[in-house]
Structure 1
Amino acid sequence: MSTTSAMPTSPATTAPKAQPAGRVSFVGAGPGDASLLTVRATEVLAQADVVIVESPEQHALVTNGADVIDGGTNAAGETLTHAARGKLVVKHAKTGAHVVRLMVGDPFTYATGPEEAQACAKAGISFEVVPGVSSVSAVPAYAGVPLTDKQHREFKVVSVGDSNVDWSEAARHETLVLLSAVNRIGEVAAGLVAAGRSPETPVAMTRQGTTTAQETVVSTLAGIAEAAAASHMTPPAIVVVGEVVAQREVLSWFETKPLYGWRVLVPRTKEQSQSLAARLRMYGAVSEEVPTISVEPPRNPQQMDKAVRGLVEGRYEWVAFTSVNAVKAVREKFEEYGLDARAFSGLKIAAVGEKTAQAIETWGIRPDLVPSGEQSGRGLLEDWPPFDELLDPINRVFLPRADIATETLAAGLVELGWEVDDVTAYRTVRASPPPAPTREAIKSGKFDAVLFTSSSTVRNLVGIAGKPHATTIIACIGPATAKTAEEHGLRVDVMAEKPSAEDLADALAQFGEQRRLQFIEAGDPVLRPSQKKPSSRRKA
């Protein structure tokens, strides 16, 4: 019996290691409004290694740190062909990456999705298609133009571009949705009239649909070419032809939002501005965040260390939080010491307002005291109980706050008989000046409104960028902030009913709606503050 031993494989004959297979997701990004992304699209974007976009605006949709590749143009600025885009997708997928190909609208509706997917199939790369909201339906909807109703039950989509269209056939349809028709709109209108459509047939042309730069021109087949030229309409735009366009007068909902198209400056930290930006977007505004302060640890951390140890040892009866940043600072110190919410056992917790209370509740703790009236240090004092030797076993309050906070609360607590450990939990430092274009926009009135959420944002914005222009609407979160704005020579136009960012956005929206109605009642076109002629700002 003989045995055969296996010979070792030499390096020269070792089989090459197989490259891991990548995959591609063709994702519809919708027509422009980022909030129209589907749930599945959001999930896929979060998992991407590489995202290939076709417009600069899509960069903002990538938030997970994935590599972003321009799939719209080449290095020379030339528009990529279908084949070139397919090769680009395959190239990155072959590296083993999960490639997300973001496409305007829907990948398989008037897009290059089919051609690029065929390139993947040919290369043996797996792919999926995540449908998106098509501009064919979304843009007219945002313009207030229904494509069908009880009287008009059909519509036809025609891609004009450079193709020869048989308008005699197209004219038979009640409603037409025209793509790539802007540059040939005169020819299109003439063709439809020649094919039998009435010259008085309503026409709506909408560019940059679903974004806050959306603009719609309404005319007739006889007048649309002239109207489009007068409004300087440029591609991309969707054109709707038919009697359904007449309903826009009643159904226009997007372009009639109270702050539609307003450019609003939000001088806050990036983290703080997120909820406010969402609220402004709901009212049709575009917000631009300019950090005026940065939050940093205190110069003397020993003071906070001592206070936290005292909290654990039972030194305090109350902890009073006067801001979300104070909650965050204490929480970070707890994590540093390996503590959690159980360290508050037996303590009473006070919050200066609803936002601060919400930050505390994320700890699983419900505050014992929140002002019933004005949400401020003064309002908190009005509800704070005086020290009672019989009811209160301990007479000391831990007050973590900013280095620039006022003494109102601490002094008031002392008057009520409490001893206060007034501790600097964080520092607020003036940020660097914004870029030159932003500073110029502030001074020249290119912003429609500025929202001030604290006295420090007023002082710091004026300090790093100068005073807002006379035509800019000034909105303040409360009386103290308004007073500071007036001291800096600004007229306060809007003030929130409650000191919260959302209430401030609501108050600005109410102001914007009243202003819009005044224009309409006077028979004038609705202009944004930045579109009006300069006027001297009244002194408060």
Structure 2
Amino acid sequence: MSDRRGSVYLVGAGPGAFDLITLRGADCLRQADCVIYDALVNPDLLQLAPSQAELIFAGKRRTGGASIAQGELNALLVNRASKGKRVVRLKGGDPFIFGRGGEEADALARAGIHFEVIPGITSAIAAPAFAGIPLTHRKLGSYVAFVTGHEDQNKAGSKRVPWRELARAARNGGTIVVLMASTRMAASLTSLTRAGLPAQTPAAAVQWGTTAAQRTVVGTVATLAARCARENLTAPAVVVAGQSVKLREHLQWFEKLPLFGRRIVVTRTREASTAFARELRTLGADAIEFPTIETARPTSYAALDEAIDHLDQFNWIIFTSATGVDAFIARLKVLRRDIRAIGHASLCAIGPATALRLEQYALQVAAVPREYRAEAIVPAIGSERIRGARILIPRAQVAREILPELLRDHGASAVTVAPAYRTIKPLPAGLQRMRELVKARQIDLVTFTSSSTVSNFCDLVGDVEGLKAAAIGPITAETARQHGFEVAVSPASYTVPALIEAIGGFFARAS
């Protein structure tokens, strides 16, 4: 038991999209000892929590599955915080908008537990926005009302939803938003029409708003429920009634993005996957970060340290990745060596990302092969400059031997391979979910940037026969095929930007 004071953070996870949680909410997750989360929370957000954090599923499942009763949930929050834990209560949308966050805060206050509320973007605003429906508009509506579709039927009459007043507001330019609306959609809309809202008032239902699974059905308050039934539009859904719904026809934007509706897995290291996934999400994809590779210290630094002690003896240093550059420079710093010690050698970088990383350290690159793989090194440097040269290759501990062998075959007098880092297979968060998605073939594309990411992915999730893959280069593509993938995307240029562009082109042709 920790002696520190426990705290509970009631965090709004946002409407569903991974990147719509607030910065403060994400920071709370990163520091959590315990996360208690609901079914509508994007499961990828759980990867932000420390690997040792306790994860507790609270339920609130739309399918009616098992959930923790609210009283038990309140007691659980008090229990964990009383043990000195930093508890994140992760709730879909905003904790205080139809999320029973007020009840949980009240229980914590009564128990003397310190708590904070981190607001979230509610689906009441976000889902219509992603469907192209502004809730207010200067010419159409100046006010908006949020209504629950799951009202407590035991409330006193004076505290019930005032449908008559809402209908009057909507007739005069207001917008009505009904949350948790799908199961009682017909009843809610009928309540509005009976209260005087014209049957022809525009209305829309948005399911899974802000996510790649978003669907929107448009009608009127009289026809919407039947249309949703025909389209099998179920929970979670937000219903909007009001004149601003008409604007969707020319304001819809999210569903027009080139990768909308596509679920794409990113398997790079956690550090590298974030920017990659961000680019995919910008294009509308449901990008799942599932790192299948991590970098670690090599088993021994002996070879690298020896090489650094004699840097002035090398004519060339060949870097095969940006990771290798970072590891090499980091070791220089540990050994307290001046970066100018590299100055005697010419530098070769495989790929523009590697070259850019060297340039960020103010190191000039003498050669970058046209093809970003080992086999293209010889023509890039030139056979005459390889002959008799002493060459250093700081790289991963386990890598193909083709590059050192090629250099020796072309007359290099000495080729020193010095492990600067090693790659390991992690146990990524969300493994069970990924296995379920793979088994159900509910993934549109898996992206790979090295052969290691391919083999590790297959080791982790099992049978991948027939799944589509995007591979950054021919070697990675061949590894993917050997494991049973259908390689659907392989860019001519072996870079991540080219891979993203090729992915966009592939789905454009497929649609």
Which TM-score applies when normalising by structure 1?
0.74
**Greater mean deviation of Cα atoms: 244-253 or 94-103:** 94-103
Give the equivalent residue in structure 2 for 1:529.
Answer: none
1:93 counterpart SS class: helix
* Whole-angstrom CA distance in 2 between matches of 1:129 and 1:456: 42
SS in structure 2 of the partner of residue 250 of structure 1: helix
Give the Å deviation of 1:31: 1.8
1:29 aligns with 2:13: yes
The answer on whether the counterparts of 1:387 and 1:395 sit within 8 Å (CA) in structure 2 is no
Q: Distance in 1 between matches of 2:7 and 2:106?
A: 13
Tell me by how many angstroms 1:158 deviates.
1.7
Structure 1: any 5+ residue segments left out of the alignment? Answer: 1-17, 517-540
Q: Which residue of 1 aligns with 2:91?
A: 103
Does the C-alpha gap of structure 1 residues 420 and 214 become closer, same or farther in structure 2, counting only changes over 3 Å?
A: farther
Q: 1:189 to 1:508 in 2, by over 3 A?
A: same
1:294 and 1:34 mapped to 2: Cα distance?
22
1:261 is paired with a residue of what secondary structure?
Answer: coil
* 1:168 correspondence with 2:156: no
Q: How much has 1:227 moved relative to structure 2?
A: 2.0
- The one-character-per-residue Cα deviations of 1:305-342 (angstroms, maximum 9, x if unpaired) are 5434432xx21122110124543664576577565745
**Aligned residues of 1:401 and 1:422 also touching (Cα < 8 A):** no
2:79 to 78, 91, 101: 91
1:499 counterpart residue number = 494
Letter in 1 for 2:166: A
Task: Report how far residue 143 of structure 1 moved.
Answer: 1.9
Q: Deviations over 1:424-479 (max 9, x none)?
A: 637779999x989978976885432243434666688789956642xx54433235
* Contact 2:404–2:417, Cα closer than 8 Å, also in 1: no
Structure 1 residue 177: Cα displacement: 0.4
Q: Which position in structure 1 is the counterpart of 2:182? A: 182
- Give matches, 1:342-421, under 5 Å: 343-360=341-358, 364-371=361-368, 373-377=370-374, 380-384=377-381, 395-401=389-395, 403-405=398-400, 407=402, 411=406, 415=410, 418-421=412-415
Stretch of structure 1 that moved more, 168-177 or 42-51: 42-51
Select between 334-343 and 254-263 the one with higher mean Cα deviation.
334-343
Report if the CA contact (8 A) 1:254-1:284 is conserved: yes
Which of 447, 454, 464 is residue 451 of structure 1 equivalent to?
447
Q: Is the 8 A contact 2:203 2:220 kept in 1?
A: yes
1:136 counterpart residue number: 124
Equivalent-residue separation in structure 2 for 1:456 and 1:124 (angstroms): 51
Task: Give the secondary structure class of the aligned counterpart of 1:371.
Answer: coil
By how many angstroms is 1:137 displaced? 0.8
Aligned partner of 1:168: which letter? R
Q: Which amino acid aligns with 2:510?
A: R
Matched AA of 2:50: T
Deviations 1:468-523 (A, max 9, x none): 42xx544332355557777999775433243122321222023323433xxxxxxx
Pairwise mapping of residues 131-530 of structure 1 onto structure 2 (< 5 A)?
A: 131-152=119-140, 153-162=142-151, 163=153, 165-172=161-168, 173=170, 174-266=174-266, 273-287=273-287, 304=304, 306-311=306-311, 314-327=312-325, 330=328, 341=339, 343-360=341-358, 364-371=361-368, 373-377=370-374, 380-384=377-381, 395-401=389-395, 403-405=398-400, 407=402, 411=406, 415=410, 418-423=412-417, 425=419, 446-454=442-450, 468-469=465-466, 473-479=468-474, 481=476, 493-516=488-511
| 60 and 165 in structure 1: CA distance in 2 versus 1, 3 angstrom threshold | same
Of 264-273 and 349-358, more deviation after overlay is shown by: 264-273
2-side partners of 1:208 and 1:99: how far apart? 27
Aligned residues: 487
Gaps of 5+ in 2: 154-159
Q: Give the Cα separation in 2 of the matches to 1:290 and 1:111.
A: 29
- Cα 1:112–1:93 shift into 2, 3 Å: same
Deviations 1:252-309 (A, max 9, x none): 2223222222233456566654443333333233345677778788899765554344
**Aligned mates of 2:113, 2:454 — CA distance in 1:** 55
- Matched letter for residue 316 of structure 2: W
The one-letter code matched in structure 1 to 2:315 is: E
Distance (Å, rounded) in 2 between the aligned partners of 1:27 and 1:443? 32
Secondary structure of 2:10 counterpart:
strand
Residues 493 and 322 of structure 1, relative CA distance in 2, 3 Å threshold: same
Aligned Cα root-mean-square deviation (Å): 4.3
* Cα pair 1:140 1:240 within 8 Å, conserved: yes
Deviates more, 1:143-152 or 1:106-115: 106-115
Distance 2:379 2:105 in 1: 66
SS state of the match for residue 115, structure 1?
helix
Q: 1:9 maps to which residue? A: none
